[in-house]
Amino acid sequence: MRHLPNVMTVLRIIASTAVPFLIMSDLPGLRYLAVGLFAAAALTDWLDGYLARRMNAVSNLGRMLDPVADKLLVAGSLLALAAFENWGWLMFIPALMILLREVFISGLREFMSAYNLVIHVTFLAKIKTPIQLIAIGFVMSTPLTPLSWRIADIALALMWLAAILTAITGWDYLKKALAHDLSAQQ
């Protein structure tokens, strides 16, 4: 039981590779499966952390894998949706902002670790990921509902909210990184 949170994170990584293929499939019904698998994977983002704290099973492996799993789920889903949906610029721009920030911050964290510096996750960064996941869930669900035009409007608003939070938290991480005098630590 102690390893359950890490197992859930690994399952989220596996789901992160399956969801894009389900999105890209032309077979009827697979979009429903993609949405269901995405929703289950998104739920494990909260559940694995909750269980790790509750079971006193927080681990370095979990701390490392959790953000990787988040980024894989977000990036894989966004890339598949962007490639196989008829997105306009209003949907493409926030998706691009989210993807670029995630890549940049991953690189920044790697760079900072070379100096044994850690930039801790802020509250805003913690709520950014669920908002991204909810937004992507709405985007994925849009073609599946009879009220798709309303769902599309909600999805677009959520994508922009996620992009704005993503940009704010990215800027916050960059400011914190620049506050360290890295040249003095070489």
In the chain, the domains with their CATH numbers are: 4-185 (1.20.120.1760)
Q: Which residues contact 120 (CB under 8 A, 6 or more apart)?
A: none
Could you give the CA distance from residue 132 to residue 56 in angstroms, rounded to a whole number? Answer: 28
pLDDT of residue 120: 84
SS3 131: helix
Q: What pLDDT sits at residue 144?
A: 87
pLDDT at residue 180 in the model: 79
- Please give the full DSSP string across 16-50, using - where no structure is assigned: HHHHHHHHH--STTHHHHHHHHHHHHHHHHHHHHH
Q: How confident is the model at residue 183, as a pLDDT? A: 58
Contact 152, 81 (CB under 8 A): no
- Contact present, 1 and 55 (Cβ < 8 Å): yes
pTM, two decimal places: 0.90
Place of tokens 């306009």: 88
* C-alpha torsion 50→51→52→56, nearest 10: 110
Q: What is the residue-level pLDDT of the chain in tens, covering all 186 positions? A: 678 999 999 999 999 999 999 999 988 789 999 999 999 999 999 999 999 999 999 999 998 899 999 999 999 999 999 888 888 889 999 999 999 999 999 899 888 888 888 888 889 998 999 999 999 999 999 888 877 778 889 999 999 999 999 999 999 999 988 887 655 555
Q: What is the pLDDT of residue 185?
A: 58
